[in-house]
Structure 1
Amino acid sequence: MGSCGRSYSLSVKQRDTIAAALPVQDHWLSMSNLDLLLPPLDVGVFFCYKKSPIPHEDSITTPVNLIKKSLAQALAPFYPFAGEVVQNSHGEPELLCNNRGVDFIHAQADVELKNIDLYHPDDSVERKLVPLKKRGVLTVQVTELNCGGLVIGCTFDHRIGDAYSINMFLTAWTEISRSRPISCLPSFRRSMVNPRRPPLMDTVYDSLFVPVSSLPPPRSYLPTNPLVSRIYYIQAKDIDQLQSNSSFNGNPKRSKLLSFIAFLWKIIAECDDGFETCKMGVVVDGRERLEQVNFDKLSLTNTKCFSMQNYFGNVLSIPYGEANSGELKEMALSQVAEMVYKFVSPAMTEEHFRGLIDWVELHRPEPAVAKIYTKTEETDGEAVVVSSGQRFPVESVDFGWGRPDFGSYHFPWGGQTGYVMPMPSVKKNGDWIVYMHLLEKHLDLVETKGRKVFKPLSPSYIGF
């Protein structure tokens, strides 16, 4: 019957390197200033299929071969994924687009999909279904399961692109697999996020980002407890209730995501760990904020191909708020939602991202990092960052045999700041899937204080 739960055996059947199907002339692609804010981090995604097509005995078009062929074709327009990151003479990372290829692993797991414990992804997914990237920019693994199930896992270098960029690639890859035209061709035009000349200095960014050289050396008192990953689901009715509560008593109607963030912040504040404050950060995508200004400045007939919606790279900022834990516990959800809105809204402008690009330019080649990811003082409270995964294209990742039965990001990034990403459920009923990478004490609070909202992911919920 095979293994069950978190532990099962996995064997590698074949390793390959998949290069772009079309020749790519070696060239350099610089990182944008916004790319340079990302440290070397890898982010994973995985998609589970209960059944993949069983080819005829004389057929060579197996699911694995189809995935490999379409990957080679997708790497032609998305050629940076077939390259590698190297340092330039200034010590900054750059992309060498040399078509070295993508490491591809074909594996077999002695387990049925219904028996994989996705609620504990550190045990069941990490380095099993989502591969460790040892080199290059992207690693792909296709794992065949007992009873015809299939899992596709990918690990990307976050410095190359954000979640929006990864989603763009995944959608195009599956469109190619189904012999359809690519709906969104990538643009690597770095001029769309160039600094102004001369760049403008604004010290407001000193509170959000910090040069690495100004950080104190690691100290022994800093916590070393590893963060733990869990996957939950939230029913649509509970999301609606959070939104209703955050907009209570005449307060402005807040978005579902903002209401969720406020609720999570209140839960984290319940932690009796001796810290007086706790921080909440929110990842903001700047594409929509930079869109109009690029249209205005381009006197071209066809500006569509230069749209920020096609831009491939990182276009992120991470504003955050810090509040007294005791006060957070006593505040109404609507009041906490108002606090979240106040620290997020200044980052949701074109000027914020233009200023951030300039700030990086004025500090280069000194690397910088988002301040919420740093913990420099013994009295610093715990911090959590929420990144919206509502654009996660789980319904679109159809290679020709149907959409996934489940999909999720997987981002055990290794720092001490928690990371949370809510995504739409493949059920298409308004439910959310929530990936959490938090300290165990915070997960305990999620499962006690938030137990009516956060439900541990189970095979029965997914329909396995």
Structure 2
Amino acid sequence: MPLKRELEVKVSKTEVVAAALPIQEHWLPLSNLDLLLPPVDVGIFFCYRKTKELSFETMVGALKKSLAQCLIAYYAFSGQLVTNTSGEPELLCNNRGVDFVEAFGDAELMDLDLYNPDETVEGKLVPERKHGVLAVQATQLKCGGMVVSCTFAHQVADAYSANMFVVSWAEITQSRPISQPPSFRRSLLLPRRPTAYHLSVDSMYATISAFASPEDQEPAAEDDKRTALSRIYYVKADQIDKIQALANDEKCFGKRNRRTKLEGFSAFLWKMIVSGKVSAGDGYCKLGIVVDGRKRLIDGEESQEKLIASYFGNVLSIPYGEKKIKELKEKSLSWVADEVHSFLKSALSKEHFLGLIDWVEERRPHPALSRIYAARATEEEPAVVVSSGLHFPVRKIDFGWGTPLFGSYHFPWGGKSGYVMPMPSPKGNGDWIIYMHLLEEQLKMIETNAAHVFIPLSSDYIYSCT
């Protein structure tokens, strides 16, 4: 059941945790792909049940000690983001350290309303990043349970990199060696000489000055902020299978050409966010999907596989499609899934990512951004981005007191478009956890027209995970 009163979290201690060994101060430039990210922060949190063997103080002490060890390898997270002489962000690796917050929440884990993270997670269980690149918080709950969370600068790391970090941190806490040390080899993402790119990149990205009107550059009005809400749902495995089957309806695909679960889910979501519109007219709805370029850059070169697999930073692209709302409402799910596949495949190649790097190089130092991120999304013409968190390693984040009962990203990203992230359930049974940050009207449409698919997260579901 949802918490019947507002959750209060009181900070008891804040200190800075630096790398356990000295780090020679140096500059680490951001890659061209890092420069495509706006200055937004990403949160991630894990919920643990009470353990009889260890006190909160003991667990926090272990977290701090292992964090100091982990920052030796992940030294970028111990630095600072500064602006260089060209006006671009750059990493100063000076071992400034990570702000580590200890807090107490006046609720039991089973009473947390995680379906509504705006009230329980935002600014309470996930810390605000104030000075460094990364902030960490450990919150003790009334039941003796604990929430461990991080907030990091997206310009420095994508979700893949954050996943590597938290897995490494957990491994060190258990006195195990890091299974995948990070690589900061920026030479892997250097532009070519001469530069070259496909014209499709121009349709996905633009310099900020090219599309930002003066009102776009102003902070969002308070009324606008309130209309975007975060929610967490779960979707059962059989529903995901049904959606994929409908996305492949009446098609004779080979195994390699079938629409994936993510494509089917994205198509279903595309239809749902416009499902309640009575008169769509000639309005359009945009859908984007975040693509991780690491596997694309390998392109069969085994010598590059290990280097790229451990690369720490952003290796992302956001292709998107735009369709009339009327079409999305009337056409079959398989038709919409075909449209998803069509725009998605434009970014599924090594050449696309090399071209994207070159595209940024030609425009530096002018900042650029994904067009869908900066879209003037409205209730009449919505836009939403889907980012797959299906490799989220929630079942691996064991710091020595058991696997999490629950874990999720938290990313109310502040863009005009919505954001949706599917992640694996801690149950490991094929269910998905879905984090959504959408306009209130869109959430109402989803809950009205797809209540059998998107089930609000509850403590009953969380406690059934183990």
Q: Same fold (TM over 0.5)?
A: yes
State the secondary structure of the residue aligned to 2:90.
Answer: strand
Q: Tell me what 1:100 maps to.
A: 96
Where structure 1 has 5 or more consecutive residues not aligned to the other structure, the ranges are 297-302
State the secondary structure of the residue aligned to 2:61.
Answer: helix
Code of the residue aligned with 2:246 in structure 1: it is N
- Quote how far apart the aligned CAs of 1:156 are: 0.6
Q: Tell me what 1:373 maps to.
A: 373
Q: Tell me what 1:341 maps to.
A: 341
State the secondary structure of the residue aligned to 2:72.
Answer: coil
Code of the residue aligned with 1:405 in structure 2: it is L
Q: Equivalent residues in 2 for 1:416-431 (5 A)?
A: 416-431=416-431
- Quote how far apart the aligned CAs of 1:254 are: 1.2
Deviations 1:236-281 (A, max 9, x none): 0100100111111125321111100000001112242867110000
CA distance in 2, matches of 1:293, 1:25: 36
Are residues 1:351 and 2:351 paired? Answer: yes
Stretch of structure 1 that moved more, 223-232 or 98-107: 223-232
Code of the residue aligned with 2:20 in structure 1: it is A
Q: Tell me what 1:75 maps to.
A: 71
Q: Tell me what 2:47 maps to.
A: 48
Q: Tell me what 1:300 maps to.
A: none
- Quote how far apart the aligned CAs of 1:413 are: 1.1
Are residues 1:144 and 2:151 paired? Answer: no
CA distance in 2, matches of 1:352, 1:254: 21
Where structure 2 has 5 or more consecutive residues not aligned to the other structure, the ranges are none
Code of the residue aligned with 1:7 in structure 2: it is E
Deviations 1:363-406 (A, max 9, x none): 00000000001235999821000000011110011000110000
Q: Equivalent residues in 2 for 1:115-194 (5 A)?
A: 115-194=111-190
Q: Tell me what 1:269 maps to.
A: 274
CA distance in 2, matches of 1:104, 1:461: 30
**Compared with structure 1, are the counterparts of its residues 6 and 396 closer, same or farther at alpha carbon in structure 2 (3 Å cutoff)?**
farther
CA distance in 2, matches of 1:102, 1:147: 27
**Compared with structure 1, are the counterparts of its residues 378 and 137 closer, same or farther at alpha carbon in structure 2 (3 Å cutoff)?**
closer
Q: Tell me what 1:38 maps to.
A: 37
**Compared with structure 1, are the counterparts of its residues 61 and 50 closer, same or farther at alpha carbon in structure 2 (3 Å cutoff)?**
closer
CA distance in 2, matches of 1:132, 1:6: 23
Q: Equivalent residues in 2 for 1:423-462 (5 A)?
A: 423-462=423-462
Is the Cα contact below 8 Å between 1:406 and 1:462 reproduced in 2? Answer: yes
Deviations 1:211-238 (A, max 9, x none): 0111242449999622100000000010
**Compared with structure 1, are the counterparts of its residues 115 and 379 closer, same or farther at alpha carbon in structure 2 (3 Å cutoff)?**
closer
Is the Cα contact below 8 Å between 1:52 and 1:150 reproduced in 2? Answer: no
State the secondary structure of the residue aligned to 2:443.
Answer: helix
- Quote how far apart the aligned CAs of 1:13 are: 1.3
CA distance in 2, matches of 1:15, 1:378: 40
Are residues 1:285 and 2:292 paired? Answer: yes
Code of the residue aligned with 1:330 in structure 2: it is E
Counting matched residue pairs gives 452
CA distance in 1, matches of 2:401, 2:299: 39
CA distance in 1, matches of 2:162, 2:245: 32
Is the Cα contact below 8 Å between 1:5 and 1:116 reproduced in 2? Answer: no
CA distance in 2, matches of 1:338, 1:378: 25
Percent of aligned positions that are identical: 53
**Compared with structure 1, are the counterparts of its residues 398 and 53 closer, same or farther at alpha carbon in structure 2 (3 Å cutoff)?**
farther
Deviations 1:93-122 (A, max 9, x none): 000000000000000111100011000000
State the secondary structure of the residue aligned to 1:313.
Answer: coil
Code of the residue aligned with 1:240 in structure 2: it is D
- Quote how far apart the aligned CAs of 1:52 are: 3.4
Q: Tell me what 1:408 maps to.
A: 408
Q: Tell me what 1:29 maps to.
A: 28
- Quote how far apart the aligned CAs of 1:348 are: 0.5
Of 259, 274, 291, which aligns to 2:264? Answer: 259
Q: TM-score, normalised by structure 1?
A: 0.93
Aligned residues: CA RMSD: 2.1
- Quote how far apart the aligned CAs of 1:8 are: 2.1
Code of the residue aligned with 2:294 in structure 1: it is R
CA distance in 2, matches of 1:153, 1:378: 32
Q: TM-score, normalised by structure 2?
A: 0.93
Stretch of structure 1 that moved more, 326-335 or 201-210: 201-210
